[in-house]
Every structure is written in structure tokens, then in C-alpha cells.
Amino acid sequence: MSSRVYGCLSLIGERITENSDFLTDLDRQIGDADHGANMARGFAAVVGKVPGDDPDIGAALKKTGMTLLSTVGGASGPLYGTAYMEAAKVLAGSETLSAQGFVDALTAAVAGIQKRGKSVRGEKTMLDALIPALEASTAAVAGGGSLSDALDSACAAAEEGVAYTRTIAATKGRASYLGERSIGHQDPGATSAAITLEAIRDYIRG
């Protein structure tokens, strides 16, 4: 029988694969046209390498991060790999995910992305989805919300963040070469981040 963390990672992979062409089309407009294909390849590798029967969330996330680092090209591999590995440190030894645990793991993931990418909010990157998601889920938990409440809040805020990326110019990565011409285009990294959060929410809801 597979562990719940393996099941969740499998669903993330399914959602990324389902949206691979969409993500690649977004990336074609402002990047290298490979985000969807790279992420789908990375999660196919994750599903093949993460033990299906290990309930340790931290161990699974660490393996996920290492696999993404080694299989996903471009900027996404290092950034997503770092995010999962930093979250793994927070959840090491955990077999269940609490509302506060989710917030703490997302906090670590965002900090890892910011440090690795030397980026901040408002530069048309995945952080424009993840930072609002973190703020919203933190507020939900501080108000006594459950894990489901935290995830609902995170997903809603991430979607708003994705929409926001259409309104700003890119100042990081390949998209920054377009300058003002990148306005009007949706960031693929923010989109895949939102897809990931929605998969986690849907899996935990069952």
C-alpha cells in the first residue's frame, strides 16, 4: 500500500503532466518553451524514485527535491529542488501534516527559493504565487483555521498571484529580456506553483 505522501506527490505529477502543454505554451511566450516538458519529466522521475511505502514526509520531500535538481532543466530544477529540500528539513520524521506544519514547510520553501534565485515578489516569478499563498495560509492558521482552511486560502491567493503576473514586466530570468513586452503574459513558474498547491489541497481533501 502506498503512503499518503507518495500519493500526494503522484497527484502533483499527474496535474503537472496534464498541464504540460499549457505550461510549455506559457513559457514559449516569454521563456525557453520547456517548462511544462521539464516539470513533467521531473515528476515522472520523482514517482519512480520516491519509495511508495515510506510514510516519512520529510524523507519523501528530500528525495523529491534531489530528483528535481537532477532531472529538471533551466531555472526550475534548482528552484523547485531547493523548495522541496528546504520543506523536507521542517517535516523530517513527520508522518502527518498539520496546518502549522504546512505553513512552516511553505515558509522554508519560499525562503529557499528567494535565496537560491536571489529574487523577491513582483519580478514575475513563482514567488508571485507562493508568497501570497504563504501569507494567506499563515493568516488562516493564525485565526484558528484547519489544514483544509490553510490550503484553500493558499490556493485562492496563488491564483490571484498568477493573474497578477500578467500585469507586470519580468525582471528575472530569460523573460526579463523582453522587458515591457512581457506584460500581458502569465508566468509559467507561478502557474506550476499554483497547480502544485491545488493538487496538495485536492489530495488532502480526498
pLDDT in tens, 150-159: 999 999 999 9
Q: What is the pLDDT of residues 34-63, one digit of tens each?
A: 999 999 999 999 999 999 999 999 999 999
pLDDT in the model for residue 1: 47
The stretch 185-200 carries a mean pLDDT of 97
Span 177-192, mean pLDDT?
90
Q: pLDDT of 82-140, one tens digit each?
A: 999 999 999 999 999 999 999 999 999 999 999 999 999 999 999 999 999 999 999 99
Q: Give per-residue pLDDT as tens, 59-82.
A: 999 999 999 999 997 889 999 999
Banded pLDDT at 2 (limits 50, 70, 90): low
What pTM was computed for the model?
Answer: 0.95
With a cut of 80, say whether residue 28 has pLDDT above it: yes
Q: Long-range contacts: 120-125, Cβ < 8 Å, 24+?
A: 122/168, 123/170, 123/171, 123/172, 124/165, 124/168, 124/169, 124/170, 124/171, 124/172, 124/175, 124/182, 124/187, 124/190, 125/170, 125/172, 125/173, 125/187, 125/189, 125/190
Structural domains of the chain in order of their starting residue, each with its CATH number: 4-205 (1.25.40.340)
